[in-house]
Protein backbone atom coordinates (compact mmCIF):
# COMPACT_ATOMS: atom_id res chain seq x y z
CA UNK A 1 0.00 0.00 0.00
CA UNK A 2 2.87 2.35 0.83
CA UNK A 3 4.53 1.70 -2.52
CA UNK A 4 1.26 2.33 -4.35
CA UNK A 5 0.81 5.68 -2.59
CA UNK A 6 4.38 6.64 -3.49
CA UNK A 7 3.90 5.68 -7.14
CA UNK A 8 0.65 7.64 -7.35
CA UNK A 9 2.02 10.75 -5.65
CA UNK A 10 5.29 10.84 -7.60
CA UNK A 11 5.06 8.58 -10.67
CA UNK A 12 8.25 8.01 -12.66
CA UNK A 13 8.11 9.49 -16.15
CA UNK A 14 6.72 7.07 -18.72
CA UNK A 15 5.40 4.56 -16.17
CA UNK A 16 1.92 3.94 -14.82
CA UNK A 17 1.29 1.09 -12.37
CA UNK A 18 -1.23 -0.04 -9.82
CA UNK A 19 -3.50 -2.89 -8.79
CA UNK A 20 -5.59 -4.36 -11.59
CA UNK A 21 -8.43 -4.59 -9.07
CA UNK A 22 -8.62 -2.61 -5.83
CA UNK A 23 -9.65 -5.85 -4.08
CA UNK A 24 -6.42 -7.66 -5.04
CA UNK A 25 -3.10 -5.98 -4.31
CA UNK A 26 -1.14 -9.05 -5.50
CA UNK A 27 -1.81 -8.41 -9.22
CA UNK A 28 -0.83 -5.09 -10.76
CA UNK A 29 -1.18 -3.73 -14.27
CA UNK A 30 1.45 -1.39 -15.57
CA UNK A 31 2.28 0.45 -18.74
CA UNK A 32 5.78 1.42 -19.76
CA UNK A 33 6.43 3.95 -22.50
CA UNK A 34 9.46 3.08 -24.62
CA UNK A 35 12.50 5.09 -23.54
CA UNK A 36 13.46 8.16 -25.57
CA UNK A 37 16.36 7.78 -27.95
CA UNK A 38 15.88 4.01 -28.33
CA UNK A 39 14.30 1.87 -31.03
CA UNK A 40 11.38 1.36 -28.60
CA UNK A 41 10.73 5.12 -28.23
CA UNK A 42 7.02 6.05 -28.04
CA UNK A 43 5.89 2.42 -27.74
CA UNK A 44 3.25 1.72 -25.10
CA UNK A 45 3.98 -1.63 -23.48
CA UNK A 46 1.46 -3.11 -21.02
CA UNK A 47 2.63 -5.62 -18.43
CA UNK A 48 1.49 -7.45 -15.30
CA UNK A 49 3.31 -7.65 -12.00
CA UNK A 50 2.35 -10.52 -9.70
CA UNK A 51 3.36 -10.44 -6.07
CA UNK A 52 3.76 -13.54 -3.92
CA UNK A 53 2.12 -13.89 -0.52
CA UNK A 54 5.52 -13.37 1.13
CA UNK A 55 6.41 -10.15 -0.74
CA UNK A 56 8.75 -8.33 -0.05
CA UNK A 57 10.80 -11.35 1.02
CA UNK A 58 10.38 -12.85 -2.47
CA UNK A 59 10.49 -10.86 -5.70
CA UNK A 60 7.40 -10.29 -7.79
CA UNK A 61 7.13 -11.68 -11.31
CA UNK A 62 6.70 -9.39 -14.29
CA UNK A 63 5.37 -10.25 -17.73
CA UNK A 64 4.66 -8.04 -20.73
CA UNK A 65 1.21 -8.70 -22.16
CA UNK A 66 2.12 -7.46 -25.64
CA UNK A 67 4.66 -8.62 -28.18
CA UNK A 68 8.09 -7.33 -27.25
CA UNK A 69 11.10 -8.71 -29.12
CA UNK A 70 13.96 -8.07 -26.71
CA UNK A 71 17.03 -10.01 -25.50
CA UNK A 72 15.88 -9.92 -21.86
CA UNK A 73 12.23 -10.77 -22.38
CA UNK A 74 11.17 -14.36 -22.94
CA UNK A 75 8.93 -14.96 -25.98
CA UNK A 76 5.96 -15.41 -23.58
CA UNK A 77 6.59 -11.90 -22.16
CA UNK A 78 8.31 -12.84 -18.87
CA UNK A 79 10.97 -10.33 -17.85
CA UNK A 80 14.45 -11.64 -17.09
CA UNK A 81 16.34 -9.07 -15.05
CA UNK A 82 18.60 -9.51 -12.03
CA UNK A 83 16.46 -7.43 -9.67
CA UNK A 84 13.62 -9.98 -10.09
CA UNK A 85 15.79 -13.02 -9.36
CA UNK A 86 15.50 -14.81 -6.03
CA UNK A 87 17.72 -13.32 -3.31
CA UNK A 88 21.06 -14.82 -2.45
CA UNK A 89 23.92 -16.23 -4.46
CA UNK A 90 23.40 -16.99 -8.15
CA UNK A 91 23.86 -20.74 -8.69
CA UNK A 92 25.46 -20.01 -12.08
CA UNK A 93 27.83 -17.42 -10.62
CA UNK A 94 26.81 -14.82 -13.24
CA UNK A 95 25.12 -12.29 -10.95
CA UNK A 96 26.41 -10.82 -7.72
CA UNK A 97 24.02 -11.26 -4.80
CA UNK A 98 23.65 -7.46 -4.50
CA UNK A 99 22.21 -7.36 -8.07
CA UNK A 100 19.43 -9.80 -7.17
CA UNK A 101 16.19 -9.22 -5.28
CA UNK A 102 16.32 -7.77 -1.79
CA UNK A 103 13.35 -6.84 0.43
CA UNK A 104 14.55 -3.22 0.35
CA UNK A 105 13.75 -3.00 -3.38
CA UNK A 106 10.51 -1.36 -4.48
CA UNK A 107 8.07 -1.55 -7.36
CA UNK A 108 9.38 1.79 -8.57
CA UNK A 109 12.95 0.49 -8.63
CA UNK A 110 11.82 -2.62 -10.53
CA UNK A 111 10.01 -0.54 -13.14
CA UNK A 112 12.91 1.89 -13.55
CA UNK A 113 15.28 -1.09 -13.92
CA UNK A 114 13.01 -2.57 -16.61
CA UNK A 115 12.96 0.76 -18.50
CA UNK A 116 16.76 0.81 -18.33
CA UNK A 117 16.88 -2.83 -19.51
CA UNK A 118 14.63 -2.00 -22.48
CA UNK A 119 16.97 0.85 -23.42
CA UNK A 120 20.17 -1.13 -22.91
CA UNK A 121 19.68 -4.89 -23.35
CA UNK A 122 22.06 -7.33 -21.71
CA UNK A 123 22.77 -9.69 -24.60
CA UNK A 124 25.15 -11.72 -22.41
CA UNK A 125 22.24 -13.05 -20.32
CA UNK A 126 19.57 -13.64 -22.93
CA UNK A 127 16.04 -14.77 -22.26
CA UNK A 128 15.36 -14.55 -26.00
CA UNK A 129 18.43 -15.93 -27.77
CA UNK A 130 17.19 -14.90 -31.24
CA UNK A 131 16.70 -11.30 -30.12
CA UNK A 132 20.14 -11.24 -28.44
CA UNK A 133 21.83 -12.64 -31.55
CA UNK A 134 20.08 -10.11 -33.78
CA UNK A 135 20.89 -7.26 -31.33
CA UNK A 136 24.59 -8.16 -31.65
CA UNK A 137 24.81 -9.14 -35.32
CA UNK A 138 22.08 -7.28 -37.23
CA UNK A 139 21.09 -4.17 -35.29
CA UNK A 140 19.26 -2.68 -38.31
CA UNK A 141 16.95 -5.70 -38.52
CA UNK A 142 16.41 -5.63 -34.74
CA UNK A 143 15.45 -1.96 -34.96
CA UNK A 144 13.01 -2.67 -37.82
CA UNK A 145 11.29 -5.31 -35.68
CA UNK A 146 11.22 -2.93 -32.69
CA UNK A 147 9.74 -0.18 -34.86
CA UNK A 148 7.00 -2.54 -36.09
CA UNK A 149 6.17 -3.51 -32.49
CA UNK A 150 6.07 0.14 -31.40
CA UNK A 151 3.71 0.94 -34.27
CA UNK A 152 1.55 -2.05 -33.33
CA UNK A 153 1.24 -0.80 -29.70
CA UNK A 154 0.03 2.53 -31.09
CA UNK A 155 -2.41 0.87 -33.54
CA UNK A 156 -0.52 2.37 -36.46
CA UNK A 157 -0.10 0.52 -39.74
CA UNK A 158 3.33 -0.94 -40.54
CA UNK A 159 5.68 1.38 -42.38
CA UNK A 160 5.68 1.00 -46.14
CA UNK A 161 8.79 -0.83 -47.29
CA UNK A 162 10.97 1.02 -49.76
CA UNK A 163 12.22 -1.04 -52.67
- Please enumerate, as own/partner, the contacts of 128-133 that have beta carbons within 8 Å and a separation of 24 or more: 128/69, 128/70, 128/71, 128/72, 128/73, 128/74, 128/75, 131/69, 131/70, 131/71, 131/73, 132/71
Q: What angle do CA 31, 36, 39 make, to 5 degrees?
A: 90
Dist CA 47 CA 90 (whole Å): 26
- For 162, other C-beta atoms within 10 Å of its C-beta total 4
| H or E segment to which residue 142 belongs | helix 139-153
- For this structure, is 80 an active site residue? yes
The single residue of 30, 39, 66, 80 carrying the catalytic annotation is 80
Q: Which residues are catalytic?
A: 80
Amino acid sequence: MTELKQLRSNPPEGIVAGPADEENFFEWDCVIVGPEGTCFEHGVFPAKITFSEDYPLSPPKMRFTCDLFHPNIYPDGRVCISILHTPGDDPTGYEASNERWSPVQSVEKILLSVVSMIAEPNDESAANVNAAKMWREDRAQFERIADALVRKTLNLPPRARST
